[in-house]
Structure 1
């Protein structure tokens, strides 16, 4: 007992020294065996108890250790709680009792121990050992100590994790013999294992490990699914909420697990719902949603209230609308646009004005496109010219036409009234001209002629200079208009004011001027004399003359520094304006060419003529890409609306055809909407304006009374 009475009480009373420390201490305490080595289990207490046989005592011992090792070690006896004292005292008594019983059976063989994994897997099994530790009798009083057993069982419940930490001590085999008497408590021998001790069923540890692995896999799967949902939202591919619920439901039900027995989840995992529209900044949400197409955005509006507010934002619809419908500029100077762009109002810088209803505008454009595909336009007839109308051009405010009657007429695009008639004194129209003509059944407007009336006389204008022959061609921009005539000349007009004022007459051709083109730098004219003249727009000086065609040059088109021309000799040519050289030729399969178009990006050339077809050539290689189905007569007019993917052709067969730009396939044919040849046909996003030999201008309006169509008109 000198071990206990010669040392001052300490918090480390029940913590023995290690083997090396014990050897050093043996020289000072003769009652201690200098050659005895302590096992791993002895590092926790001076009295060793076989925790493998009695797992309930492990938690009691650990609880006692936690009291001994409490941080309040400055004052020893005063810092110990009442609970710690009771646990320590009870534990010493049990160890003393077990030591006595183990000495009596030290020579007996060690029975087979239960599996450690079984104890860990099912520590609270209802099948208890035959020896009830909770009913051990105190060796002094002989009275049962149920309170200590209850404390041990409660500790087992609350500290199941401590069994795993002390598991290594239960695997060590204690010595079968050792010191007896006073030192027996340092190496006690456990009592014999009861013969009827329950053995855990086989495979229980494997099933528990499989359950833990599957639970971990399901948690990782849910995390991956949440990350995929967020990633899909950021890339524009939205996962619907009901689909995500199905994924989570399948995950929680354990689909794909191969366990031999069902595994009940001890924890209730609360799924984390993350709404990116609610938490992300509005600018980022707008940027993400702007990358969707319109059908996806409409579906997005149905997700929730927050998503509806984000998806109906005018900023989002503005991006979607402009990405779909805003024309691209490929070359400089920018080519003259025919008609309107159909993208709403613009500010002073040419950018889209704020405050527009972009969603309504998108619906209107899509409705118009469906009417193009369904061949369902309405007809509007403009009467006033007294002879063939050879040429036309229009924008969102006006239409300008030139006729064989030697006059130029300006029409209001809103109410289709004739605003101005320009011609010489001898070209003034006579009353009751033209006479009534047949109209199509889908006619919605037929503006009568005002010729010979007081109102008609009021709008007739005789300028200082004018053409005295047929007006064969014209083109204008925001500042000037150029007209070409059978009188071999061109007139440049100032159209910035209400009165169209002639600025200069261009002379240099020896035959009628059949077509003109212009941009910011040049004015181009082609003639029946087989030549092309290039004029400086500022000085009206002729820069050069392009020669090489062997027949009348019927049409020209300008794109930057490149010019394409079509001639009655059956060849279309590509010219470099700086050098004046022909760099590519595009021959027809037969006869002459009457019309030509140059794509906005200068990659393709379209031509049509006497062989009744439309050709599409690659501008760089000269390769023929396709030939359209034949018209019933000469193709007199061509117009390419590349942005909307449409080619409009007018023919002497009195028809207007609409074809797909990419394939050349015809999807709309309008025959006999006029009573004679189609001489010119041009289009924009919603209408075709055509002129005929019967003296009328015809408008095929695919946007007639479409809801929201007025929101597409520019300022």
Structure 2
């Protein structure tokens, strides 16, 4: 049904007809037309100008956007404002094609300057049309590409000819916002790029933490977790350092950042980036002036039990899960401990916050859902087919993830999808026989999209799109082989790292390349 959406506004007929429907009050027209689908409304709009105006009310189109969960494109990402990516060279093409197949047909939206005599397209109809186009691009693999290449300088040569060695420099984390992408490199540099052109704006020398969860960006500010227990913030536009926050005893290993508040935890990591020691503190900072607001500590005197094994932050609430089977909930604005939840299930693995709920995962395949305000367990269920006991408690990527609606649990060669009632929906299965022996772990969840790769770190990286209405996963993209799991995603873009093999002086070297897919 692509044709009605492309024509309904720009090609409304103007042939005069006897139309009794047009004589009805606008309120009556809305009452009648609200029973139609989006496609039917577009067909009505093609009849004549009068019917086009009747089918052009926000009261008709906003409920349709709400049904598709597209209201976010007004509050979170304004598709009526965000400019589309315009490719400047043929290399920006994608797998699904280039040109109009990717770019939204903006002449299908009526404005006063584009179609004199026609009423402007109402706001929520415009959002519906653009969101529909964007979702189609994600599902059908339609995008433009911009790549950032680093060159061969500074990479390790193999001691043997034709033997490919590990790259000396790797990309440890990515974070972006709008047209800016920040990358944390293992050579203690922070790079800031323009996403549209691929040109680097700033290169900053800083002792960066070792994992991607310590790099965040919000409201034009980049927050970086650093070695020595420090957190630094930078202006994404100018590269200027804004604040330096100190307090942790170990390297900062994870950050949450919502624009005005930073939540941080610290740990010592081994060579495989697994946590071997934590300082036990969850710290809350004022991102604007760099002051420390609160330090949330475990009440246990046992150094092993005071270590948080799972931390989450949502809507000014901080959740910390501890090995003593307690979940503590703090208010990040007042510092007050709102709840201490004690579970009678086996050891805690991790916890996630949702809208008024906190979800805990336990050894023995048990999930529990708690009410944040009352601390009561409102639901519990088993997760069949997932061996929690085989998971590494120091590696959060091997646990489960929560996207606000669905639980995603990893197991050998697949990811299992459950709703909050504990109903199993389906498995996501790796389609590569070579890598089915490895754990397929989730390394990024954004909205209704999930990225997973195999445990060995050398196999394909998969991107799935969750169809919220039918609870179905679609394999959208099988990326190139990756040597690092640095990924960032927004509603309109996907950025990831892959390592390319080159010959240099009769030796093979690996060079990182960041690829940004523009779906809008």
Same fold, TM exceeding 0.5? yes
Higher strand proportion: 2
What residue is the counterpart of 1:544 in the other structure? 340
Equivalent residue for 1:700? Answer: 517
Q: How many residues align?
A: 377
Which whole-Å CA distance do the structure 2 matches of 1:308 and 1:598 have between them?
42
Label 1:689 to 1:506 Cα distance change in 2 as closer, same or farther (>3 A): farther
Are 1:476 and 2:257 matched, yes or no? yes
Residue matched to 1:666:
474
- Superposition map of 1:297-446 within 5 A: 297-311=41-55, 313=56, 315=58, 318-319=61-62, 322-327=65-70, 340-342=76-78, 344=80, 358-380=124-146, 389=172, 396=178, 427=207
Establish whether residue 492 from structure 1 lines up as the match of residue 284 from structure 2. Answer: yes
- Assess, with a 3 A threshold, how the Cα gap between structure 1 residues 470 and 568 changes in structure 2: closer, same or farther: farther
Cα RMSD over matched residues?
A: 5.0
| Residue equivalent to 1:678 | 485
User: Does the alignment pair 1:279 with 2:23?
Assistant: yes
| Correspondence for 2:429 | 629
Which whole-Å CA distance do the structure 2 matches of 1:386 and 1:526 have between them?
34
Going by fraction, where is helix more abundant, 1 or 2?
Answer: 1
Note closer, same or farther for the CA distance 1:585–1:682 as it changes in structure 2 (3 Å cut).
farther
Distance (Å, rounded) in 2 between the aligned partners of 1:539 and 1:596: 29
- Do the aligned partners of residues 318 and 381 (structure 1) sit closer, same or farther apart at CA in structure 2, a change above 3 Å counting? same
Residue in 2 that maps onto 1:465: 246
Change (3 A) 1:475 1:462: closer
Whether the 8 Å CA contact 2:262–2:285 is kept in 1: the answer is: yes
Whole-angstrom distance in 1 between the partners of 2:449 and 2:239? 39
Aligned equivalent of 1:657: 463
Which position in structure 1 is the counterpart of 2:380? 584
Aligned: 1:518 with 2:313: yes
Shift of 1:372: 1.6
Matches within 5 A, 1:15-26: none
Q: CA deviation at 1:539?
A: 3.4
Distance 1:493 1:480 in 2: 6
Deviation readout 1:452-476 (Å, 9 max, x if unpaired) = xxx9995345603265755443323
* Deviations, residues 361-406 of structure 1 (Å, cap 9, x unaligned): 433322222222222334455789965536x666657667778788
SS class of match (2:318): strand
Which of 600, 604, 628 does residue 404 from structure 2 map onto? 600
Gaps of 5+ in 1: 1-240, 242-272, 330-336, 347-353, 430-454, 704-715
Bigger relative contact order (CA 8 A; separation at least 6):
2
Instruction: For residue 678 of structure 1, give the secondary structure of its aligned residue in structure 2.
Output: coil
CA contact (8 A) 1:405 1:470 kept: no
Equivalent position of 1:94 in the other structure: none
The whole-number CA distance in structure 2 between the counterparts of 1:565 and 1:406 is 35
Compared CA separation, residues 306 and 428, structure 1 to 2 (3 A): closer
Change (3 A) 1:572 1:695: farther
Question: Counterparts of 2:18 and 2:307 in 1: how far apart (Å)?
Answer: 73
Q: Name the SS for the 1:589 alignment partner.
A: coil
Residue 409 of structure 1 contacts residue 422 of structure 1 at CA under 8 Å; is this kept in 2? yes
Q: What SS does the aligned partner of 1:516 have?
A: strand
Secondary structure in 1 aligned to 2:429?
coil
- TM superposition shift of 1:655: 0.3
Q: Is the 8 A contact 2:184 2:208 kept in 1?
A: no
Larger mean Cα displacement after TM superposition, 468-477 or 568-577: 568-577
